[in-house]
Chain A
Amino acid sequence: MDIERRQLAWEVVRLRYWQHLVNEGLKEGKIPKVPVHVAIGNEAIAVAICNMMQPEDELALSHRNMAYNLARRGEFGPVYREYLMEPTGVAGGKLASMNLTQPELGIVYSSSILGNNVPVACGLALGKQTLDEPGIVIALMGDGSIEEGSFYEGLVFAKTHGLRLLMIIENNDHSMSSTVAQRRCPISVGDMCAAVEVPFRQMRGNNVWKYLDNVQDARRTVHEGGPMCIEVFVEALTNHSGPTPFGPSDPKNLSLDNGLIVEQSPNDPVYVVEQSIPTSAMAEMTDRVFAEKSVEETP
C-alpha cells in the first residue's frame, strides 16, 4: 500500500475515533451546554475535501462541521476543548460547535442556519475573483439546505458571475429527525443544476480514494470554468445532535466499546477502508488510535 493511500485510510480511521470520543463525551454528559452535531458516517467526504484543498482555498461550512474541523486541524484536543468553551479551544471557547471556524486552516465561515452559508460563500468567491486571488471556495451543506431559496439563488449568482465555487451537498436523507420522504417531494439537484448550466456530479460508496480523485477533478473544473455542484450520499449513523443513543429506547446504539465501525456496509466509511486495505494495516491503525491519550490527557 503506497504512502498516500495509507495516509487517507489513516485519516478516515482517526477521524472516526475522534468523533466516537465526542459522542462518548456527549453520552457521559461531559459536554453539557453546547449542542454538538456529530458526523459519524461523513468521514470519507470530509477527508477527501480536506486533502483536496490547497492553501489558497476557503471552506464555508454548515452546523455539522465537526468532521471538517477535526480533519483540517489534524488533532483532537483543541477542537474538543472548544466544545467545552475552554480558552484553550481552537477559537478560544468563543464559537463552540455550530459556528466553529479556523481561518488559519481555510475554514473561514460556518453557519448554523440552513442555506445561510451559500450567499456568504458566493461573496467570498466574488472577493477572490475581484482581488485576482487563486483558489476556490467550497460551500458545504446538507439535503435540508437545498430546500432553502438561498441554494437556488446561490446557483444562479455563482453561475452568472462565473464564481469559483464548489457546492458540496451531503445528502444524509435527514433534516433534524425527518427523512426526505417525511417532509417533502424529491428534489433533483441535477435538474436544478442543469437548468442553470452548472456541472453536477453524484458520489456514493464512501470510498475515500475515489472521492479524492473526484473532488480533485471537480476542483480543476471549478478553477477553470466556474461553479460546480456535487451531491454525495452519506448515512446518518448518529442522531441529529447530542448523544447517540439519546436513551435506552434509541435503536442507534453507538459505543466505542464495539469498535470503530458502526455498520458493516458501504454506508460506513471505516468499513469501506477495512475492506480496502490489508487486514494487518487496519489492525495497526486501530491499535494506534486506541493507544491515543484519553480526552482528559489530550493536550
Chain B
Amino acid sequence: MPESPEPQGPEPQGWRQLLRPTVSQLVVALLIGGLAFAITVQVNDEGTEDYSGVRGEELVELLKSLDVANERLSTQIDDLTTTRNGLLSSTRRSERAEQQAKERAEELAILAGTAGATGSGIEIVVNDPDEKTYAADLLDAIEELRDAGAEAIVINGVARVVAQTYFLDDEGQIRVGGRGIKRPYRIEAIGDSHDLAEAVSIRGGLTDRFANRGASASVTQKKKVTITALADVKDPEYARPTS
C-alpha cells in the first residue's frame, strides 16, 4: 500500500509498538473499522426479510420448499377439517340422543309416578256417608279412568296411582298403595277432560255405580290439574331388564 510511508522494517513488532500512532496504524484501524462497519450492516440487514439479494436458483429452491410445505399444510388442514366435522356431527347426534332420552325419561317418570304432572283433567269427589264403598269399587273407578285415557291419577292428593299401586280394604277404610285414605274420596286424573268426564258419567258407568252404593260422585272438568304426590318407588328386587 502506498499509504504506508513509514519505514516499517521486516523486524518483528510487539504489542507495545501498537500504542504508537503511525500512518500504517491508522490504515489498519481504518480497515478494521470498515470490517466492523460491514459486519454490523450485514448483521442488521440479515434481520430484515428481504429476498432481493438471493440468487435465482436459491429463490427457486425456496419456492419449491414453500410449495411442498404449503401442500403438506393443506393436506393437514383437510384432515383436521374432516375430523372436526366428524366430531361436530357426532356431538350433534349425541345431543339429539340425549334430548330424546331426556324426553323419554320424563314420560316414564310420569308413568312411574316419580315426577309431578300437570295438565287438563277432571276431579271426581265421591261422598260416601254410609261407608258402603270398598277397594274394589275404587279400583273399578280407576280402571275406568285409565280406559278413558287418564295419564296420571291421584287420590285425595296424596296417593299417586301407578302400575304397582294396590287397593285394600282395611277396617272400614281403604288403603291405596299402603296409604290409608279418608272419605270423601277425591280422585284427580290428568287426561282429555272431556273424554274423561264422558267416560265416568256414561250410563252404567262410574257415577251410576257409586249411586247404586248409596254414594254420590260429582265430576268437575278442569283446565288444569296439578299432581304433586309421588309414588313410593322401590327398586325391583327380582326383575331385571332383558336387553
- Tell me if chain B binds chain A: no
The interface of chain A, by Cβ under 8 A from chain B, is none
